[in-house]
Structure 1
Amino acid sequence: MAPAKTATPARTKARPKPDATPKPARPKGARRTTPSPETLAALGPDRLIGLILGETARNPTFKKLVTAALAALQGPDAVAAMVDRRLAALESAQGYIDWQKRRTFAADLDATVTVILNELRPLDAGAALERLRRFLDGGDAVLNRVDDSTGAVQGVYERATDAFVAIAAGLTPAEAARVATGLVAPFTADPFGPLGTLLGDMVPTLAPDALSEIDVALAEAAAGMAKDAAPRSEAAYRRVAARGQILRLRQVIADRRNDADAFIALEREIAPGRENRLSIAQRLLAAGRPMEALDWIRREQEPGLRIVTRADLIAGFDPRGPERERQALEIDILDALGRADEAQALRWTLFERTLDAPMLRAYFAKLPDFEDEEALQKALDHAESFANPHRALAFLVGWPDMSRAAGLVTEKRKLWQGENYAVLAPAAEALVQDYPLAATILYRRLLDGILEAGRSAAYTHGARYLLELDGLADRLAAGAIDPAPAAYRERLKRDHGRKHAFWGLLRD
């Protein structure tokens, strides 16, 4: 008789904990092939040695780094000797490096700096500084014989300069001062050279007490240049420029010592009659001498040329900026003197003259309680009636007061100029949600400006403006604008139908 079967309990799968979250599956093999200390260790020393030897045979720059690492095992002298051989080769070389060889040459120079920083510096910071100085000292000779149109080689020397300053900053104050003092002679000889810039970069990092010897040496050099004045010549102009750099560096030293009087005396020597009154007033105010600061900030200055550089143009140079900065400092000085009413009057005057929104906000912040609402209405009324409607629109949109901005647009609809797209485009975008008529007026002016001038580079923007106008058309009341949306589109086709590049964008 067969034995009776016993019931076995059903197997249940273990359920995950309620707070457990499934992790995304990692692609198979992804971690194994990513170089990391763990994955490389798995290769074993023999395999790694083979890879390194193979790369040293193919890559001279990598070979130099490996050789330097091996030299470091023998001590700083071995690494220094290796660097010295490369520096000697650079100093004796005279061949021209064209653009085809520039990349390899820049990589080699960069490897030299890397060896100094990664291998020599940990062993002997002083020796690393000496090699960096020697490397930088030969910078002019190297740059004069290389096609460095990309700035790659110059970038290596800038890296070396930054590294020199960083290493010197880690020295003791006395040792850092000794290094800086050793740079005075090359600085006075050529303030614009690779070594000359080092001293200027180091001075702000030095202790104020360590600057006396440097300042005395710079003063003697500047005095010698003043006595050695010569008739107008290229050499004389270079000497004048060098002397100016020396005096400017002495001003940096004066700032490090918080010596406003020394700064002012040097400014008078640099630009007699045309001193930078803003810089002087800033320092006098910081020194707790607001009355003298006010005298300087209000002084009449001899007219002179303002050279606008390419960098100024790229950054959007505002010719009103320097005067606004001067007036803002005058306000701070008046506040420091306790002349709050005069400061407030000047804030309001600046707002009235230029619709300066930050100045108006500062004005409101200084008002007594319950007076700001009346002042705000007065300010907005003034903005609406401002002589320059584009400036007024920019202010009202930025403040913001969109109702007044829309009213200004519709009231002066014929005055808007499409070339002022920096004002009209953001204004139209801000108005499009709640004020379709005002937005339509601005988008039409923007589009008309693009098509009438044939600015093909802006056709993409023009196509977007027309699409915005199509979307606004149904939200306009009948007769709100002339011509009506359909008639406006017909006019565009009639007047600009041959601008196929524009209409092609709409079809796309």
Structure 2
Amino acid sequence: MLDDEQKKGLSKLPKTALVDFISDVQGMDKLLDKKIERLLLQSDKPKLVKKLTSTLKGLRRRRKVLNYWEYSDFVTELHYLADDVMSLHPELPKACLDLLELFMESIDSSLERVDDTKGDINDLYKSLTKSWLQVAATCYAHQKKTVALDEQDILSQAWSDKVKAMATDNDYGTKDNLLHNVDLLLAPAEIQALIEDYRYDYETLLTDAFSDDEPLAESIILQPMNANTFEKRRLETALIDLAWALSDIKTFEDIYLYLSSHRAFSQYEFDKLIRFLLKHQAFDVALRYLNADRIAEGNLNEVARLDWFIEIYRQQNNSALQLETLNAAFELDPTPTRFKQIMTMASPAEQASLRKKIYELAEQQQDIFTAIELWLEIEERARANQVAITRQEEFDNIQYTALTQWLKRLPDDTNLIRVVVYRSLLNDILENVRTLAYGHAARYYKHLVKLDAVISRSVDNYSSLNTHQEYSIALKEKHGKKYGFWERLEH
């Protein structure tokens, strides 16, 4: 994606330069060719709508399973389509809305064709839901201007019913943000009416599902996960999301208390309540819930509770209580993030004491990520490197996505740690003969080559770790016949 400065630079180019560039790249990439084709249709909106309709109907019918290396191109294609559809708004809102709904209907096909572990496709479809609300609001506003006053209620009910139907049709969770953001489309009175509808459905479900002589709260908690349980959870989530969209503290609190009277809330649901209250700066109400007996007794996570106190004190600019609570949370969960927060607020004497404590904590950490990060926070890179080398076998038991994400978080000048992690990733692919991932393995090896150019010039060199040359020789001896991997290194 271009940043604003780059876009500004493009806008200064003569039109002929852009035309020549587009002409040159046309034919180099199928996805880009489709994008150029739809771009040329921008001057003929009816043809563009027809083309997008055909493409989206085809998307819904596709069944071919994609390989992992095709994932990125497919995500790019979906983003191109979303941009082209939204280019019709606000000029042609009805056509845009119809295309968005057609696009959203393809969710089953898209997610069944490819492994979406990274979640990019799911995120794209979630963004379509928010776009739908924005475009629907434009359509609704236009309709209000053309409908007689005595028919306004009918129009309002029609849109409310449509929202409710869409929220129910949510097997893949891509419409989780629909009711949460429904204030983009519906007025407060309409949201309140929806809350009453869902509350009626909820009470009807409870009445039908449980006998009068059974303790209601206990029966709900102990009930196995069946169709009624899922429907109850769906209605509870809908009520909370609608109360959030209404932005009324009393309504949100009433809904929370109403639902929690039937069962104990989870940490996630409690966090949602506190997040809402802080968003509207209802600090006293939030503190009342955080200090409630059942919370203080440990029914909800104590560290999470302290973190909420820290956030409240931060927003209230109460640095003394914030630091005091940070220290209490750090005692229970000594993360590098908390250490960094405390160090920025503590006095020099407190900082010295804390650094001494970090030495002890870093030595005791079972989690290798936390151990290394704690050493790095106190600028003990040599110790962090040694932990990575001494405990390198532990990386073999960590999922590759966790390792690659962690690599992105590592600060500069952590070359030895990166070598250990890249070797672990590479070894895993070759040891388990993951032929489809040989492209990734080749990329990891090339990272190791680049790191070697820096490490071999450093004073410490590879420390107690095998040099890159030694590692490469051992790799060739053990996996020399995996020709698919070695061929990829040549490209």
Please, what TM-score do these two structures have when normalized by structure 1? 0.52
Gaps of 5+ in 1: 1-22, 35-54, 66-96, 104-110, 122-127, 304-321
Match of 1:413 in 2: 389
Aligned position for 1:272? 263
Counterpart code for 1:268: S
Q: In structure 2, what is the Cα distance between the partners aligned to 1:365 and 1:373?
A: 12
Which among 423, 446, 470 is matched to residue 464 of structure 1?
A: 446
What is the CA–CA distance in structure 2 between the aligned matches of 1:250 and 1:115, rounded to whole Å?
29
CA contact (8 A) 1:432 1:439 kept: yes
Report the Cα offset of residue 460 of structure 1: 0.8
Q: In the alignment, does 2:54 pair up with 1:62?
A: no
Within the alignment, does 1:165 sit opposite 2:137 as a pair?
A: yes
Does residue 247 in structure 1 map to residue 239 in structure 2? yes
Where does residue 331 of structure 1 map in the other structure? 310
1-structure distance, mates of 2:420, 2:180 = 55
Structure 1 residues 480 and 185: alpha-carbon distance in aligned structure 2, compared to 1, 3 A threshold? closer
Give 1:59-458 correspondences, 5 Å limit: 62=47, 118=91, 149-150=109-110, 162-168=134-140, 178=153, 179-181=155-157, 183-184=159-160, 192=168, 202-203=182-183, 208=188, 215-216=195-196, 219-220=199-200, 222-229=202-209, 240=232, 243-244=235-236, 247-248=239-240, 251-252=243-244, 255-256=247-248, 258-268=250-260, 272-274=263-265, 276-283=269-276, 286-287=281-282, 288-296=284-292, 298-299=295-296, 325-333=304-312, 343-351=322-330, 354-368=333-347, 371-379=350-358, 382-383=361-362, 385-397=364-376, 399=377, 401=379, 404-410=380-386, 413-417=389-393, 418-419=395-396, 421-422=403-404, 430-431=412-413, 451-456=430-435, 457=437, 458=440
- Tell me the TM-score normalized by structure 2: 0.54
Which structure has the bigger radius of gyration? 1
Letter in 2 for 1:256: D
Q: Is the 8 A contact 2:323 2:345 kept in 1?
A: yes
Deviations 1:72-108 (CA, angstroms, capped at 9, x unpaired): xxxxxxxxxxxxxxxxxxxxxxxxx9959969xxxxx
- 2:247 match: secondary structure: helix
1:292 Cα deviation (Å)?
Answer: 1.2
Deviations 1:486-507 (A, max 9, x none): 6555444433333334444556
- 8 Å contact kept, 1:383–1:392: yes
Q: How far off its partner does 1:228 sit?
A: 4.5
Q: How far off its partner does 1:329 sit?
A: 0.7
| Equivalent residues of 2:310, 2:326 under 8 A apart | yes
Identity of aligned residues (%): 15
What one-letter code is carried by the residue in structure 1 that aligns with 2:255?
A: F
Letter in 2 for 1:163: V
State whether residues 143 and 153 of structure 1, in contact with CA within 8 Å, keep that contact through their aligned partners in structure 2: yes
Aligned position for 1:17 = none
Q: Which amino acid aligns with 2:295?
A: R
Residues 193-222 of structure 1, C-alpha deviations (whole Å, 9 max, x = no match) = 599998875446555467655555554554
Letter of the aligned partner of 1:264 in structure 2?
Y
CA contact (8 A) 1:393 1:427 kept: no
RMSD: 6.2
User: Residue 64 and residue 396 in structure 1: after superposition, are their counterparts in 2 closer, same or farther (change >3 A)?
Assistant: closer
Distance 1:414 1:239 in 2: 51
Structure 1 pair 250–443 and aligned structure 2 pair: CA distance change class (3 A): closer
Instruction: Report the Cα offset of residue 327 of structure 1.
Output: 3.6
User: 2:361 and 2:452 mapped to 1: Cα distance?
Assistant: 34
Q: Secondary structure at the match of 1:298?
A: helix
Q: Give the residue type in structure 2 aligned to 1:357.
A: P
Does the 8 A contact of 1:190 with 1:196 survive in 2?
Answer: no
CA contact (8 A) 2:355 2:378 kept: no
Per-residue CA deviations over 1:465-494 (Å, capped at 9, x if unaligned) read 553575444656799647677655544443
Partner of 2:483: 500
Q: Distance in 2 between matches of 1:63 and 1:480?
A: 62
Q: Does structure 2 retain, via aligned residues, the 8 Å contact 1:251–1:262?
A: no
Helix, strand or coil: the match of 1:273? coil
Q: Distance in 1 between matches of 2:470 and 2:86?
A: 69
CA distance in 2, matches of 1:429, 1:295: 38
Distance in 2 between the 1:132 and 1:492 partners?
A: 55
Change (3 A) 1:168 1:377: farther
Q: Secondary structure at the match of 1:274?
A: coil
1:359 deviates by 1.9
Secondary structure in 2 matching 1:498 = coil
1:149 is paired with a residue of what secondary structure?
A: helix
Whether the 8 Å CA contact 1:344–1:363 is kept in 2: the answer is yes
Say which SS state the counterpart of residue 358 (structure 1) adopts.
helix
Structure 2 residue ranges without an equivalent (≥5):
1-11, 24-40, 51-55, 63-83, 112-123, 212-222
> How far apart are the structure 2 equivalents of 1:428 and 1:253?
38
The residue correspondences of 1:26-41 to structure 2 (distance < 5 A) are none
Return the structure number with greater relative CO, CA threshold 8 A, min gap 6.
Answer: 2
Mapped to 2, the partners of 1:157 and 1:344 lie a distance apart of 41
Q: Secondary structure at the match of 1:413?
A: helix
Distance 2:165 2:461 in 1: 78
- Cα 1:400/1:180, change in 2 over 3 Å: farther
Query: 1:356: how far off?
Result: 2.2
Amino acid at match of 1:498: K
